[in-house]
Structure 1
């Protein structure tokens, strides 16, 4: 009867559900008990450190059994639910929630089991020096801990203990890997006996690098084929798995750059040797074979030394695949930019030719650079197309022009700031040493067509032999050198590329503009203080302006487009240089003019010369004026062109004479004794003034310039008439007036002559008659 009831209930599903409920209740209790025991065991293992290996193994078996029961029960429930889903959704939902909770707990227990197994395997692999396996097991353990952290129901104290244990094991592994790395890759540096991962202080001087060594231990296999050892590969791969490889390689690169690669580029005397020590490894050592006389290494020397180092590193250290990348590629990404910049600034920059004739030879350097980069790509240090290094080498024309322009400007500025008083003599026959340039075909053709016409016109019209010639004078030696520098730079532009020619041409223009701006400012005080320098600066500017007229014309046809189309000219700069020279000399003339007037101001306006003190003061003032003019004549006579010299001296003498005339004309009463004294002083000027117009010593016997004094001194005739009047009687004055047609009337107005007569003669009938005749 009972079995019949059971069958009926089973067919209705009620008994099955009651059995399931009882089974789930029992399973919940069993899961909770297992969870408590596992957590307790792990706490004892990783937190309390109690030995419970046997208990843990039994628990692991128990966890597996419970897990299997749960899987079976889950399948049973899911089948039952699917069959009765329409009638038992509500009843089974509660059971499903409880089952899901238990499933999560079982999954957590599975991760705990995974963590424990991974930690055990990692510890075992580390003891056997299976570093890659140890690193992978630690990664498994870390993944288990990360999964546990994702559940809020996880017990925080237990997670903290597991994370702490994982950190300890990871640091222990990294320590062992670092120890192996230090043993396999050993640096010997001057600053310390052994260094392997720490960046040392920056060494200075070539000698400090002579003891640098890199020892790659156990780098050869049994068959003597150079390749990284299995142990080294394991160490590098394990470091990569643990994420510490980049840091190790970065430190290695820093030491390699500072102590081996850069010194080999910078110091031409340094070389590198590679020695194989049997049973110990390979040693790269820096050495100085012989003192090099060159200040910089050639590109070929640098490339060969660097390739020797990098090939050795590739063979014994870097030929290891880390994931999908070679270690050599990782190292290349870290060092290439700094190495290439060092090669550019310490080697290639100094290999750029200084003369355009050497540009053709530079193709060798470009080819060597291409081969260097090709070798680096084969070693997988480099990827992709041309880099900054090869681009720099190929842009030699641009760099040549930039270097040349920089050197030209530096040399020009040095000439402009040098002493101006070192001079050279320029004569009308002096010419620039212009280079012989091949005439362009178009010019030759035009020249042949016009030869007959030119021959016909040559007899008809000819320029003077003095046309376009500088007068004899002296210029600064530095200015002559500046012009030669400009010629040489323009010669470099001939035959160069368009960009290079443009840079060089405008550098020459900038050089002259720099002279215009720098020299007047840099020598400002001296140009005002020393008349000699002012005259030289005047000549310098006129010399430059003279040659700038034709400089562009000489080179235009030989330069590439667009320079050959007419923009090659310096004519626009000519007015500025002429004005600059004139302003400088006029400023000096104003200084000298002010000094002359200052000296004459001590003559007490030439009043009361019958007083001995007044006469002495006036005489001294006149003597000082003569002395100043003679001194200027001595300074300027061999410097300025003759015409400029005479005009300058005439201007200054005229200033002194005009001042004396003005002061004498202002006198209201001139006694006979005063008149004699004034005549004596003025006669001194007349006798000694013309002597300053002797520009050259060899012309002492030639009175040409003294005879032409009235051409340069406007008031000279006026002054001579005044001197005559000072000693003449009334009749002689009237005769020289000659009814307004005589020589006196040409220099003075009637009112001025009357004023002189009133000052020189007493009020008598004869003076009155004479005054009436002055009309």
Structure 2
């Protein structure tokens, strides 16, 4: 077989008659022969030592000839053969390119053939309602078009035409699949324009037409599987199931959870198949359905859907699993917020019964897992049900805060009477273990006999004085007590939440009530007094509230500082500030009324006397009104101090106005005496802290204890009618009752104003030292 060079030269047509290969072969043989002869000659020459000069010369000539032939052959190869090789390579490359082009054309023709065959099979399968085969053929045709688009060496105008045809046929397939879906799944929904009430849900109907209409048609499950698999091949199954799940959630699943009056009705109707509807439960007045009712209704719905629609495997995955992934998050959230949240107990005694709800939730999820709606791991629904203690605490705290705020924003004037004998209704608490152990270990000792002369505290020393407080405040205190009672029966975490919620209640009262009732507290003295009592009432009970409950609370609360004592000063200050603000308002009104008395001068003028008399009468009337308003509301001590302070303010103002008068005529003195005597006579009558008039006399007789300037005022009234000698006698060398109330300068000033400048006046003034 000839060499590659020979073949190239042969294909070019330039090889001579004698084959180049044969020449080279002959030349090789000549060289071998010459080599043998040279070797033989050298052996003879140097081995046998035979004279062979002539033979050597002949050999040298022969070698020269062979070398010349080699040089000629080499020159021939370098000139002629090399040129022929380059020409052959170029021609080969051209042929290769032509071959590749032909191969691409053949490939494109193959793809076009495949597309045509696929479309033919697609049309046939679609006519025969073999939707899976049609979807596969359409997918194969799409792959052929994608392969054609991958041929970058050529731009075929037909590709856009094929793509358009592919889109049209896909829409055609989707139309047929959608038509089959609508025939199998039929919704009847209420009008969107109508009201979303109970009647609208009763109009909802879902028909699963899974019974064959004709004997010749395939069984509905096969049609359903065919439609679903075709949708999966087309990539639209997820979208179709998502739309179905959204409608099912809105019109069936969520209404079942949210409305207890709805009942699920499953029926099989001739020509329709399985029909799911709602019916109204008679006599259902509950606002929220129990978890067991909700679970049973949901399982009835989902089991019906599973057995008739969702029990189909698509691409190694159950349709129920796909459906569960789409609806479970929203459905579980709806169950939690619309059902389980309202089933959380409001009392710790009901927590044990809630285990039934936890068990029902587990059974509900187990049933869903058996139908492959849920994965195997635990879900948020069951986790929420198991965390009932935390939810109970949160719900209890929220309800307590809401109830407390409602009480704080209620009217303050609805009051109840509290007395030293009044007791809070405390629940009976168990004896702490530490206390019982101490009692058992402690030896019995004889009771210590009290010392005969030891001073004993009064039985009412630590009791709240009789007064009136708002009914809402007493209810607030009872709410706090009940909440702490719940904390005793709860876990440590729950107890901590409840304890700090109680503290938040009182802090909320401190912040909310003064702001919410601000205008009324400034406007109505009655409410200011009640608010004062409310604050003192809360402060009184906060002193011992923590001490009462601390030993019974779970650890670490029982070992810590569970107290409300730190809040006591704030409440006392709040109540005092509220009442002092009202006292300042009343004091300002008293001074304003007295400002219309024309400074009690020139009372011989009828107009001036009338104005002064009116001012005094208004002051007395205001004080009597306040006495009536605060009667039986304030504690007696606070009442007397408040009325005494206001009366003392009025008296001090009258005294100050009289003391600055420089000239008091006898008529003016009589008028002033009359006005001041009115205050002395009627002033004590404003002290009516109790509804029993006979008991008020005691406090009316003790006016000097509450009105600091009462005796001063009485001395002034005496001076207004006394003569010089009486004044000197009452001074009694700075030892008489007059000297106890006035200074010598003040007495001399009064003498100058009341009496004319005579020797007797001068003599009397010398005795005032």
TM-score, length of structure 2 as denominator length: 0.86
Greater CA drift, 179-188 or 204-213: 204-213
1:166 paired to 2:166: yes
Matched residue of 1:292: which SS?
A: coil
2:228–2:237 Cα contact (<8 Å) kept: yes
2:8–2:88 Cα contact (<8 Å) kept: no
1:642 paired to 2:628: no
Alignment of 1:404-419 (within 5 A): 404-419=396-411
Distance 2:5 2:587 in 1: 140
2:690–2:696 Cα contact (<8 Å) kept: no
2:468–2:634 Cα contact (<8 Å) kept: yes
**Residue of structure 1 equivalent to 2:532:** 538
Alignment of 1:684-703 (within 5 A): 684-700=678-694, 703=697
Segments of 5+ residues of structure 2 without an aligned counterpart are 14-83
Distance 2:472 2:529 in 1: 15
Listed one character per residue, the Cα deviations across residues 538-571 of structure 1 (whole Å, up to 9, x for unaligned) are 1111001000111111111111112112332111
Distance 1:8 1:343 in 2: 88
RMSD: 2.5
Distance 2:119 2:536 in 1: 93
1:190–1:208 Cα contact (<8 Å) kept: yes
1:262–1:339 Cα contact (<8 Å) kept: yes
2:8–2:85 Cα contact (<8 Å) kept: no
- Deviation of 1:727 after TM superposition, in Å, equals 1.0
Segments of 5+ residues of structure 1 without an aligned counterpart are 1-5, 19-83, 192-199
Distance 1:146 1:565 in 2: 77
- Deviation of 1:90 after TM superposition, in Å, equals 4.9
- Deviation of 1:108 after TM superposition, in Å, equals 1.2
The match for 1:339 among 321, 327, 331 is 331
The match for 2:624 among 609, 627, 630 is 630
Residues 730, 159 of structure 1: CA spacing in aligned structure 2 closer, same or farther, 3 A cutoff?
same
1:228–1:316 Cα contact (<8 Å) kept: no
Distance 2:482 2:502 in 1: 10
Matched residue of 1:734: which SS?
A: helix
Alignment of 1:218-617 (within 5 A): 218=210, 229-277=221-269, 280-447=272-439, 455-456=447-448, 462-617=456-611
Alignment of 1:21-36 (within 5 A): none
Matched residue of 2:692: which SS?
A: helix
Matched residue of 1:232: which SS?
A: helix
Residues 348, 219 of structure 1: CA spacing in aligned structure 2 closer, same or farther, 3 A cutoff?
farther
1:184 paired to 2:176: no
The match for 2:760 among 760, 766, 770 is 766
1:220–1:281 Cα contact (<8 Å) kept: no
Greater CA drift, 209-218 or 409-418: 209-218
The match for 2:612 among 615, 618, 624 is 618
Residues 294, 11 of structure 1: CA spacing in aligned structure 2 closer, same or farther, 3 A cutoff?
same
Greater CA drift, 562-571 or 545-554: 562-571
Listed one character per residue, the Cα deviations across residues 630-686 of structure 1 (whole Å, up to 9, x for unaligned) are 111111121111111100010000000000000000000011111111111111111
**Residue of structure 1 equivalent to 2:659:** 665
Matched residue of 2:448: which SS?
A: helix
**Residue of structure 1 equivalent to 2:137:** 137
Residues 417, 189 of structure 1: CA spacing in aligned structure 2 closer, same or farther, 3 A cutoff?
same
**Residue of structure 1 equivalent to 2:102:** 102
- Deviation of 1:449 after TM superposition, in Å, equals 5.6
- Deviation of 1:384 after TM superposition, in Å, equals 3.6
Residues 14, 120 of structure 1: CA spacing in aligned structure 2 closer, same or farther, 3 A cutoff?
farther
The match for 2:715 among 710, 721, 735 is 721
- Deviation of 1:707 after TM superposition, in Å, equals 2.7
Task: Give the length in aligned residue pairs.
Answer: 694
Distance 2:701 2:281 in 1: 80
- Deviation of 1:155 after TM superposition, in Å, equals 3.8
Residues 702, 121 of structure 1: CA spacing in aligned structure 2 closer, same or farther, 3 A cutoff?
closer
The match for 2:706 among 712, 730, 733 is 712
Greater CA drift, 692-701 or 307-316: 692-701
1:718–1:748 Cα contact (<8 Å) kept: yes
Distance 2:694 2:557 in 1: 52
1:115 paired to 2:115: yes
1:679–1:723 Cα contact (<8 Å) kept: yes
Matched residue of 2:674: which SS?
A: helix
- Deviation of 1:281 after TM superposition, in Å, equals 2.2
1:9–1:15 Cα contact (<8 Å) kept: no
1:221–1:229 Cα contact (<8 Å) kept: no
Residues 386, 462 of structure 1: CA spacing in aligned structure 2 closer, same or farther, 3 A cutoff?
farther
**Residue of structure 2 equivalent to 1:78:** none
Distance 2:301 2:127 in 1: 35
Residues 602, 289 of structure 1: CA spacing in aligned structure 2 closer, same or farther, 3 A cutoff?
closer
Distance 2:450 2:174 in 1: 97
Distance 2:12 2:116 in 1: 38
**Residue of structure 1 equivalent to 2:32:** none
- Deviation of 1:452 after TM superposition, in Å, equals 5.5
**Residue of structure 1 equivalent to 2:22:** none
Matched residue of 1:557: which SS?
A: helix
1:735–1:742 Cα contact (<8 Å) kept: yes
- Deviation of 1:616 after TM superposition, in Å, equals 1.2
Matched residue of 1:618: which SS?
A: helix
- Deviation of 1:126 after TM superposition, in Å, equals 0.8
Distance 1:399 1:348 in 2: 10
Alignment of 1:69-88 (within 5 A): none
Distance 1:243 1:184 in 2: 20
Residues 280, 416 of structure 1: CA spacing in aligned structure 2 closer, same or farther, 3 A cutoff?
closer
- Deviation of 1:454 after TM superposition, in Å, equals 9.3
Listed one character per residue, the Cα deviations across residues 574-623 of structure 1 (whole Å, up to 9, x for unaligned) are 11111111011101111111111111111100001111111111111111
- Deviation of 1:93 after TM superposition, in Å, equals 2.6
Residues 613, 203 of structure 1: CA spacing in aligned structure 2 closer, same or farther, 3 A cutoff?
closer
Alignment of 1:49-60 (within 5 A): none
Greater CA drift, 657-666 or 607-616: 607-616
- Deviation of 1:96 after TM superposition, in Å, equals 1.7
Distance 1:681 1:280 in 2: 103
- Deviation of 1:724 after TM superposition, in Å, equals 1.0
- Deviation of 1:451 after TM superposition, in Å, equals 8.4
Distance 2:569 2:672 in 1: 46
